[in-house]
Amino acid sequence: MRSVLRRATILVRDLDRSMAFYHGVFGLTPYAELNVDLERVPFFPVGPEPRSGASRFVILKGDDPLIGMIGLMEITDPPLPEPVHDVRRLGIGSTALVLSVSDADAAAVAAENLRGSILMPVTTARNLGNKDGGFVPAKLFMARDPDGYFLEVFEETAQAD
């Protein structure tokens, strides 16, 4: 069986803020936007009572028109409570997004300017990234988006500095 991961969706507090972050830092643009009546998605386990509520949903895309997309969903009715776990610590159920950019320094500045937080400043490193599962020289930083999602961001470089 052949499979391709087309998108991952994360739940966010404020869809407009998250769209501004992912566009401003990574240049992602809308692929699709819709309002979702959660009663029409009876097995989507969200909110205090499955089968009820409403959400705003957007899919953002990068350079490839069909793969590597991210979905952002804000539950609008009723709003979701704050997470019960500390999003500042990775653990079971945490999400780590790995993104490749053309300019790590500019992406790190944009992340801070758009209410993200830098955990590790841009540094020269090696990161998994070639088609054979090998390491490539890279500029790398680690950050959190405005909702606390962990981001590993790298720019492939021609050679290690």
Q: Residues 6 or more apart from 38 whose CB is under 8 A from it?
A: 44, 46, 47, 50, 51, 52, 53, 54, 55, 75
Q: What is the pLDDT of residues 32-52, one digit of tens each?
A: 999 988 888 877 777 666 666
Quick: pLDDT tens for 56-102.
999 999 988 778 899 999 988 888 888 877 777 888 888 899 999 99
Asked if the 96-156 domain carries CATH number 3.30.720.110, the reply is: yes
